[in-house]
Structure formats: structure tokens, C-alpha cells
């Protein structure tokens, strides 16, 4: 893994923080916050990975 691909790991703390803060601003109960923020985090990651996969698929550059 080169340094260029290492920067993709920086998306992870960003997504986790966004999921936690967003869900915490919606609910007060901790079990609900954990469950929903986990779900939101996975949804965002899935969307990002899916989009990246499509872009790689249609990529015409080497």
C-alpha cells in the first residue's frame, strides 16, 4: 500500500464522527444512539465504497 492510498483511511474517522454527532443530535437514549450511528456509518461507508467501485469500473485512465 503506497502513501497515496493511505489517505483513504482518513475518511474513516470523518465518517464515524459525522455518524455519532448526527445521531446524538437526534436522540438522547444511548442504545438508540449507538445502534443508529452504527447503521448510518455503515450506510455512508457503503455509499462511498460503491461510488468508488463504479468510478474504478468506468475509469479509462491507467
Partner 1 sequence: MTDTSIPLREPAKAAFLAWLIPGLGHFYQGRTGKGWLYATCILGLYAVGFYLGSGKNVYWRWVSPFNTDRFMLHYVGQFFVGLPALPALIQATIEHFRPGSNFLGGFMAEPPANVLNGLLLRGKPYEIGLIYTTVAGLLNVLAIYDAYEGPAYGRGDEPEADAKDAEGANTVVTAGGAA
Say how far apart CA 31 and CA 18 lie, in whole Å: 18
Q: How far is the CB of 53 from partner 1 (least distance, A)?
A: 21
Name the helix (H) or strand (E) containing 59: none
Residue 44 to residue 58: CA distance in whole angstroms? 21
Binding mask 13-52 for partner 1 (x = CB under 8 A): xx-xxx-xxx-xxxxxxxxxx--x----------------
Min dist CB 36 to partner 1, Å, is: 8
Reported in sequence order, the residue ranges of 1-62 that DSSP labels E, i.e. its strands, are: none
Q: Catalog residues that contact partner 1 under the rule CB under 8 A.
A: 7, 10, 13-14, 16-18, 20-22, 24-33, 36
Amino acid at each position: 500500500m503506497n502513501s497515496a492510498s493511505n489517505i483513504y483511511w482518513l475518511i474513516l474517522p470523518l465518517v464515524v464522527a459525522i455518524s455519532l454527532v448526527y445521531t446524538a443530535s437526534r436522540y438522547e437514549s444511548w442504545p438508540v444512539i449507538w445502534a443508529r450511528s452504527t447503521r448510518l456509518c455503515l450506510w455512508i461507508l457503503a455509499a462511498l465504497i460503491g461510488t468508488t467501485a463504479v468510478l474504478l469500473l468506468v475509469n479509462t485512465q491507467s
